[in-house]
Amino acid sequence: MDTPGTTTRIRPFGLALLAVGAVIVGALALLGAAGWWAASDGIYFLPRLHGVERLVALALLALGALEIALSYGLWNLRPWAWALGIGLETAALVLALLQLGRGIPGSHLLTLVLAVLTLWYLSRPRVRAALGA
């Protein structure tokens, strides 16, 4: 029940989808972090790379935590979630652009398209208003 003088904001369906997507990406990043951390123990014959696995694991751990925080913020319509979402999607966009010519082009192109669409959606006035941004 609302207290007098407060307003109820309605969560747009797209924000619910983004929140679910963010928690899935966050969970996958945390699983990836565990895998990279475990892999670093078994690669002693590559001493130059031994620390790299741990750095990748820590980066994935941070990404996973940020994605889960984003999911919480989007689901609960926290104003800070808008800035976090813009920041994470901008980083994803830049990384996808840098990787377009490497590896499997389709996956980087998909990341690029999803980042652009998410940035566009987060910039919509209705979505910004729902988040109080």
The pTM for the full model equals 0.78
The whole-angstrom separation of Cα 52 and Cα 74 is 33
Residue-range domain boundaries for the chain: 13-76, 79-133
Question: What's the pLDDT band for 1 if we cut at 50, 70, 90?
Answer: very low
Q: Count of H helices and E strands in the chain? A: 5, 0
Evaluate if residue 110 carries a pLDDT over 50. Answer: yes
Stretch 125-133: mean pLDDT:
88
